[in-house]
Amino acid sequence: MDAELSESGAPALEALGLAKRFGAVEALRGLSFAVRPGELYGLVGPDGAGKTTAIRALAGLLEPDAGEARVLGRDPQRGGAVFRESLGLMPQQYSLYRDLSVDENLRFFSRLYALPRAAYRERRQRLLHLTRLDRFAGRRADQLSGGMYKKLALACALLHEPRVLMLDEPTNGVDPVSRRELWALLHEFVHGGMTVLVSTPYMDEAERCSRVGLLHAGRLLLEGPPLELLARTGAQTFEELFVQRIGEAA
Ligand SMILES: Nc1ncnc2c1ncn2[C@@H]1O[C@H](COP(=O)(O)OP(=O)(O)O)[C@@H](O)[C@H]1O
Ligand SMILES: [Mg+2]
């Protein structure tokens, strides 16, 4: 492991006053939050809250107008090869090759990451097993259900075994059973030592995170461990709590 990338105590991911404007729209308005190593942090917010913009800034895919993004202590737009290898991203619109099979997609992405053949074989087997896609290895990506497609995208984003994984709305539009399976997978990765940032528009998914931030109109309205948030506010559900806070902020 790269010693420089493993300073203990430092956040794995950090947004420091991020601002981003698209024409008249202020997508991010001074967004600050930090994800500690080994956390499963949920960025929860309605459509248009700024989730995708925040993740793109953290992944180094978008230059903020103000503020800074930090990933493993570095500017994600300037990190080198070792840094890039430690980062995994599953964008909201994940493009797999639809006319390639599950197996062919995995092989394609393994070549992109220049994985040695032996490592690829071992990881392919483990990821197909984890995602329960083993039986569908020969199926074309465009013949998969929505949930299976997301799981294949996740497997492709994990082939290079990143230390920090960002997933943008992985459960959006996925059926409840597959949603549950995706969250179970994320919990397994976190138990294995990975740091995970996940965004979701589904307020009830807050309970599945170790810490959650409520994002609205480009900034955080509320943050904390999910059960603590409920206890602190006396709310019965995350929906009740979040909808009320968003109403107050409007
Ligand atoms: N490339 C872009 N051009 C113009 N407006 C954008 C662009 N990206 C995002 N926006 C706007 O910024 C706001 C936040 O968008 P986004 O980050 O995609 O929110 P979310 O992912 O939470 O739905 C929205 O109002 C959206 O329309
Ligand atoms: Mg989005």
DSSP 102-125: HHHHHHHHHHHTT--HHHHHHHHH
Give me the pLDDT at residue 8, please.
59
Q: Which amino acid is at 22?
A: F
Give me the pLDDT at residue 114, please.
87
- State the closest ligand 1 atom to the C-alpha of 47, by its place in the atom list counted from 1: 23
Ligand 1 touching residue 200 (CB < 6 A):
no
- State the closest ligand 1 atom to the C-alpha of 45, by its place in the atom list counted from 1: 22
Give me the pLDDT at residue 178, please.
85
Q: How far is CA 215 from the centre of its chain?
A: 15
The residue whose CA has the least distance to atom 26 of ligand 1 is 48
Look up tokens 């290895």; give the residue: 137
Cα–Cα distance measured from residue 20 to residue 216, given in angstroms and rounded to the nearest whole number: 14
pTM of the predicted model, to two decimals?
A: 0.92
Look up tokens 């729209």; give the residue: 25
The answer to whether 19 and 32 have CB atoms below 8 angstroms apart is no
Residue 62 tokens read as 């978008």
Q: Which residues surround ligand 2, an ion (CB under 5 A)?
A: 51-52, 92
Give me the pLDDT at residue 80, please.
78
Angle at 162 between CA 161 and CA 164, to 5 degrees: 150
Cα–Cα distance measured from residue 168 to residue 197, given in angstroms and rounded to the nearest whole number: 8
User: Residue 88: which of 194, 236, 211 has the closest Cα?
Assistant: 194
Ligand 1 touching residue 57 (CB < 6 A):
no
Ligand 2 centre to CA of 26 (Å) is 15
- What pLDDT, in 10s, does the model give residues 208-238? 999 999 999 999 999 999 999 999 999 999 9
Ligand 1 touching residue 91 (CB < 6 A):
no
The residue whose CA has the least distance to atom 6 of ligand 1 is 22
Give me the pLDDT at residue 4, please.
44
Cα–Cα distance measured from residue 231 to residue 11, given in angstroms and rounded to the nearest whole number: 26
For 7-86+175-250, CATH number out of 3.20.20.70, 3.40.50.2000, 3.40.50.300, 3.30.565.10 equals 3.40.50.300
Ligand 1 centre to CA of 50 (Å) is 6
Give me the pLDDT at residue 6, please.
47
The residue whose CA has the least distance to atom 18 of ligand 1 is 52
Question: pLDDT in tens for each of the 250 residues of the chain?
Answer: 344 444 557 899 999 999 999 999 999 999 999 999 999 999 999 999 999 999 999 999 999 999 999 999 999 988 777 788 899 999 888 789 999 999 999 999 999 888 999 999 999 998 999 889 999 999 999 999 988 998 999 999 989 889 999 999 999 888 888 889 889 989 999 999 999 999 999 999 999 999 999 999 999 999 999 999 999 999 999 999 999 999 999 7
Cα–Cα distance measured from residue 100 to residue 105, given in angstroms and rounded to the nearest whole number: 6
**Distance of CA 4 to CAs 33, 42, 58, 75, 161, Å?**
22, 26, 19, 13, 18
Cα–Cα distance measured from residue 180 to residue 243, given in angstroms and rounded to the nearest whole number: 23
Q: Name the segment(s) of the chain with CATH classification 3.40.50.300.
A: 7-86+175-250
